Amino acid sequence: MKQLILKKGEDRRIRLGHLWIFSNEVDTQKSPIKEFEPGESAVIVNAQGRPIGSAYVNPNSLICARMISTRPHEGLTEALLDKRISQALTLRESMFDRPFYRMVFAEGDFLPGLVIDRYDDLLVVQLTTAGMEKMKDQITSVLCNILRPKAILYRNDSANRPLEGLDRYVEQAVGTVPAKIAIEENGVKFEVPMIEGQKTGWFYDQRTNRRDFASFCKGKRVLDAFCYAGSFGCNAVKAGAKEVTFLDASKIALDAAVHNAGLNGSPDKVDTVYGDALDTLQELKDSGAQFDTICVDPPAFIKRKKAFKEGLSAYQRVNKLAMDLVVDGGIVTSCSCSQHLSAQDLNRVLLHAASKSKTRIQTLIQGHQGPDHPVHPAMPETHYLKSYTVRVFKS
């Protein structure tokens, strides 16, 4: 393998375990990045000439290399994929009694650019880097050898792929994945859209947060805002909520939420509100609506650092409206999947929202992504999901 040589001092973060190397950290006089092919493996060498590990390279990306191993001559091979995927599977099988989980979580499982969701004997795979795209056939081979799945679907249509110089596509690699499949999570039944759904079909990362939310819902009037397929609200239905209102800007999502609610309880408990969540929450407030328990789980309002200020304002507004809509002593669960919004930032959002709504809050639960989305301790970027469940007092 060719060498990719770092500038002086740029190996510190890598030696602590971080897996990303940026193009401005490379000594391009000694090792021109443009001489590498997208996805090519390389030995990473510090400024003193000492090899510190191996990575795969993409000269067309700001993140020009992603670490694979601390062993300098261990490149991204089928054998390494087999070892790391098997390690990831062993962890999930030790935690879950049903085969429904995120089986591989990219950097969190030391396989940057590779995400695999398992739906029993069906697998949905997402490749987000040139290095993993180059190993697509080997990934398919490893998965077939380890699990012998009935079907493998590649959902390679993420918005980040063009940043790596990759096309976006969806491909049935093995067998045929149906348009919808049935899953069970926390004892709650769902039908999940595989082909037309968002990302890899289901958001396994909220599993524990949904369970915790449901514990506050028995006999309550519940609002599930930004509901998608109704994951939080259906957990509330199963827990014995008095009534559940689903709110989303997608009629397809609302139809899916109502259908899923029917799988878990009486459909007459369910109502829907269609429209942009910020607008419809305001309309609900203006109409005098009130709820005992509310979940707000918006999409990432802050997708890039430069959007931080605008996104922060959106988080504050939606949480302020949630506190306006909840009853005195009621519960609000607030979530953020924005990588650029820290848990401390979300806590401050809630404090500002409480101040603006003239309420007091106490934190009951601080939530995170589930354990099938392990956090790489050297990479705060992998700790993307945050949530707080707070009790709201109006007097």
Q: What ranges in 216-307 are assigned the alpha helix state H?
A: 231-238, 251-262, 277-286
| Paired tokens of 55 | 């990575």
> Strands 151-156 and 122-127: what pairing?
parallel
**Which amino acid makes up residue 108?**
G
Burial (CB < 10 A; 0-12, 13-18, 19+), residue 78, is middle
Judge whether 257 and 233 are in contact, CB under 8 Å.
yes
183 pairs with which residues across the strands? 190
Greatest distance between any 2 Cα atoms in the chain: 70
* Order of strands across the sheet that contains 2-5: 2-5, 40-45, 51-57, 63-69, 20-22
**Contact 152/79 with Cβ under 8 angstroms?**
no
The angle subtended at Cα 387 by Cα 254 and Cα 113, nearest 5°, is: 80
Residue 338: what residue type?
S
Query: Are residues 121 and 98 in contact, defined by beta-carbon separation less than 8 angstroms?
Result: no
- Cα distance between residue 281 and residue 285, in whole Å: 6
Beta-bridge mates of residue 223: 245, 294
Spatial distance between the Cα atoms of 72 and 235, rounded to a whole number of angstroms: 47
Which of the residues are catalytic? 337
Query: Can you tell me the distance from the alpha carbon of 37 to that of 134, in angstroms, rounded to the nearest whole number?
Result: 11
